[in-house]
Structure 1
Amino acid sequence: MISPDQLSDPAVRAFVIAVNAGDRSAFQAALTPGATMSDDGSDRDIAQWAEKEIFSSGGHMEVDKESDGGLALIVNYRNDTWGEMRTAWRFVTEGGRISRFETGQA
């Protein structure tokens, strides 16, 4: 496993640390204004998705692998709703923040 503070890309590192801390403010700060996301191929509203999948359900990312300069992760993701699942995450960054992320089953 890769410790979040050892992730290569600073924006992705901030994102993972915010998710694991349940820190809504830090999560928002890691994203560009107007950032977008998709879950299993369907675009979602980030605020609604994050509240449900991360903050109100104790979401946690345990990073197994990173590639593409730290913009692609394989994660054991768990929350109180779904339990634990192996997920893939891809990030697009802009100006040191995340402008889009895509996640889904790995």
Structure 2
Amino acid sequence: MRMHFTAAAASFLLLAGVGVAAAQDVVIAPEQDTVIQEYVHKQPLASVEVPGVELSVGAALPDTVELREVPNVKYRYVVVHNRTVLVDPGTRKIIKVYN
């Protein structure tokens, strides 16, 4: 019985780790990235300051930060600390930081 529990626990931990890794690995097709960059360039936003938030992939933005839509793209964008970031609106996590 103990062996079955250990195997089940190990399987659960392995699958949980894969789920976390997959959530952070968002791949944007080059064509879609071009569309996003062109749209963001044509629709500039004022930069907002978000104290305590590091601009890195996987960091979450607070609900107080307004995310803007990119037509026909499921992600949103905002300019934080003078850098454009692409955000998953469901999790509010940064998926890409543009220079």
* Class of the TM-score when normalised by the shorter of the 2 chains: under 0.3
Structure with the higher strand share, 1 or 2 = 1
Where relative contact order (Cα < 8 A, 6+ residues apart) is larger, the structure is: 1
- Considering fraction of residues, name the structure with more helix: 2
In terms of Rg, which structure is larger?
2
- TM (norm. structure 1) is 0.27
